[in-house]
A and B are shown apart, each in its own frame.
Chain A
Amino acid sequence: MPPEASCYSRARGTEVLLYLLPSLVFLAVFTYWPIVRAVATSLLEWNISHPQPRFAGLRNYIVLAADPVFHLVMRNTLLLALVAIPLSIALALLFAVLLHEPLGSLRPVYRAAVFYPTMVPMAAAAMLWVWLFNPSIGLVNYYLGRLGIPRVEWLYDMTWALPAVMISWIWKNVGYLAILYLAGLQAIPRDLLEAASVEGAGFWQRLRHVTLPLLGPTTVFVVAVSVINSFQIFDAVHIMTQGGPADRTNVVIYYLYQQAFRFWDIGVASALTVLFVVGLLSVIAAVVRQMERRVFYEV
């Protein structure tokens, strides 16, 4: 490299750093430093029995590894992701395809109906679902009863509490995902679909052979966003079940909150935080890498 060029690029480097400085400062103060602190705190024994923090090595991680509630919490979190995400993606895609079809004057009404749950605050939505799932006066049981299905205790039932939370989560998230898919659909040139219909492809064949493959990039984004959202579910759990019955709806974030502010075990809560961040990042990285290998980006 000629000397002038290296001089120039060094000057550029300083300039670039200057532009980045404000956001770097904020990230450092509010993101990187707390992560470092969390990692450090997770190595301390610091709880009600030991109000004075002291170094304990990996003790908190060992405690968690042996904790049956933690296992249940992990199971619930993964189950929520594995069941609710595919369901909400399928529903979002369906709604988006319907929204994309010419619906005439019904369209704005329908669009509002699909998107409106996204705009309701989760806490309010959760209250709504508490009433809907109420065993004696809730609408869910009322309609199931009309169909001859026996009463379910829903939020108080060991089996049905988690599905109930999932339903409310899906209801809340589908609209947002549908809008993302609708944007993806609108970006597909009409020609590509018309070309397929000239070749003899019907609606389903066009959907499978042209639309879905071209929605690949949207789907990667939708999956990533959904994984993050599902891992972060908190307010619905807090309002609908408080993790109960018997931790059947307890999830990682909620358990973390309980450890820190109910049981006052800051060390274990910090260990949970570290596990949560590492876990979420690796899941996202794995999902995105897996999917991107099969996705076509240039259109």
Chain B
Amino acid sequence: MRVRLEGVVKRFGATTALAGVSQEIREGELFTLLGPSGCGKTTTLRILAGFVDPDEGEVYFDDVPVRGVPPAERGVGIVFQNYALWPHMTVFDNVAYGLRLRRMPTAEVRRRVEQVLEQVGLLGLEDRTPGQLSGGQQQRVAVARALVLNPRLLLLDEPLSSLDAKVRARLRSEIRRLQQELRITTVYVTHDQEEAMVISDRIAVMRDGRVAQVGTPVELYERPADLFVADFVGTNNLLPGTVTGLRDGWAELATPAGVVRGRAARPLQSGGRAVLAVRPEALRISDGTPADVGVPGRVALSQYLGSLVRYEVEVEGGRVLLVDVHNPKGQIVLRPGQRTTVSFDPEAALVFPEEAP
């Protein structure tokens, strides 16, 4: 199913949760709403579910407006943040609830519940209550319950946020695998950018009730539309300064750390404030002969992680730059306190106008 939001606005009292969101979600894709808390991602999900109607704008499921259609008639399955399993019912009863409400024959209920429990790997635990399950297992029950009614749209609200890191990594791959097997249109809400990157076909980065940028994980990472996205998706080193030169899409910036160059990601004004963003893996580090082109600094911390060395380098003006050196085998590892020069290919650096705080 395709989903389309058109100019959706939602206010709660004096606060505007959604300030005009227009977005198309394609058939069968896993679409993630990513953003910090309060950005409007959960409100968007609740509007799709039908728990709240937008104040302005409209939502279309396959070109049919759904305003006023109750949740049960929308054909949506929802996985809630805290699973929302009914604690007084067994796993089987939790999953079977919707089928029974539809007065499906007992044998058919059993067949479908067992089928979906097998899909999520919980067959054999039907008679347990949620209290007897681990967090990961509860999560699977919640997914099974959301899938058993064959929804046209699957909504997941921070489904992994209360699990520990290992279980989280495993479950997100499983959710992705299930979603691709079933080719079900899915909207996934998270504030975890890494989770979003791993699981999504496309991501909408949200901020203050608006969509800041929509794109594939690669697009967001390599071509962030603004400073917020650049900072929120992945790790970025930010160097604020004043624009001293603009030419052919390149910008030169005078920063306390030194003069740096990068591609202008947005229109800039000469003499205006701007920020250069460059990823840790795009930075190079040398043992500090002053002849080098780059920003001089001092190693504050070096962490050897096997496949990479991560440095924290303090530069002039007090900023700390993260530098990732991959495959460090055979290279000299710098020690804290050593003088060094950090350099980068201007091609890998983006310059954004500074945003008003």
Contact = CB atoms under 8 A, between A and B. Distances in A.
A201 B72 CA distance: 8
A214 B72 contact: no
B84 interface: yes
B101 A298 contact: no
Given A194-B51, A298-B131, A199 B88 contact: no
Contacts, number: 59
A210 interface: yes
A216 B88 CA distance: 10
Interface in A41-95: none
Contacts of B86: 192, 195-196, 209-210, 213
A101 interface: no
Given A191-B80, A194-B80, A200 B88 contact: no
A282 to B, nearest CB: 28
Contact of A199 (B80, B82, B149): B149
A200 B149 CA distance: 10
Band of interface residues on B: 20 to 34
B220 interface: no
Nearest to A214: B88
B71 A198 contact: yes
B87 interface: yes
Given A199-B72, A200-B72, A189 B84 contact: yes
Contacts of A197: 70-72
A32 interface: no
B84 A195 contact: yes
Contacts of A210: 86
Contacts of B49: 194, 198
Contacts of A29: none
Contact of B97 (A196, A213, A296): A196
B101 A199 contact: yes
Contacts of A298: 87, 131
Interface in B26-68: 49, 51
Nearest to B149: A199
- Which among B70, B78, B88 has the highest number of chain A CB atoms within 10 Å? B88
Contacts of A205: 101
Contacts of B149: 199
Interface string A183-224: 000000101101111111100010001100110100000000
Given A194-B51, A298-B131, A199 B84 contact: no
Contacts of A189: 82, 84
Contacts of A209: 86, 97
Nearest to A200: B72
A214 B102 contact: no
B101 A296 contact: no
Contacts of B82: 189, 191
Given A189-B82, A205-B101, A209-B97, A198 B76 contact: yes
Contacts of B98: 198-200
Given A199-B149, A200-B98, A205-B101, A296 B80 contact: no
A197 B81 CA distance: 16
Contacts of B70: 197
B78 A296 contact: no
Contact of A194 (B84, B101, B102, B145): B84
A196 B149 CA distance: 13
B98 to A, nearest CB: 3
- Chain B CB count within 10 A is highest, among A192, A197, A200, A299, for A200
A198 B78 contact: yes
Contacts of A214: 87-88
Nearest to A205: B101
A198 B98 CA distance: 8
Contacts of B296: none
Which of A198, A200, A210 has the most chain B CB atoms closer than 10 A to its own CB?
A198
B77 interface: yes
A194 B80 CA distance: 9
Nearest to B148: A199
Interface in B285-303: none
A205 B71 CA distance: 15
Contact of B101 (A191, A200, A213): A200
Nearest to A198: B71
Interface string A155-196: 000000000000000000000000000000000010110111
Contacts of B84: 189, 191-192, 194-195
Contacts of A299: 87
B101 A198 contact: no
Given A196-B97, A199-B98, A199-B101, A296 B76 contact: no
B101 A201 contact: yes
Contact of A296 (B85, B87, B102, B145): B87
Contacts of B101: 199-201, 205
Interface string B79-101: 01110111110000000011001
A214 B80 CA distance: 19
A296 B88 contact: yes
A197 B101 CA distance: 11
A199 B97 contact: yes
Nearest to A298: B131
Nearest to A193: B84
Nearest to B142: A195
B112 to A, nearest CB: 13
A197 B72 CA distance: 6
A199 B220 CA distance: 36
14 contacts: A191-B80, A191-B82, A192-B84, A192-B86, A194-B51, A195-B80, A195-B145, A196-B97, A197-B71, A199-B145, A200-B72, A210-B86, A216-B88, A296-B87
Closest 8 CB pairs of A and B: A199-B98, A191-B84, A200-B72, A296-B88, A195-B84, A213-B88, A191-B80, A198-B71
Given A194-B51, A214-B88, 10 more contacts: A191-B80, A194-B84, A195-B85, A195-B86, A198-B72, A198-B76, A198-B77, A201-B101, A298-B87, A298-B131
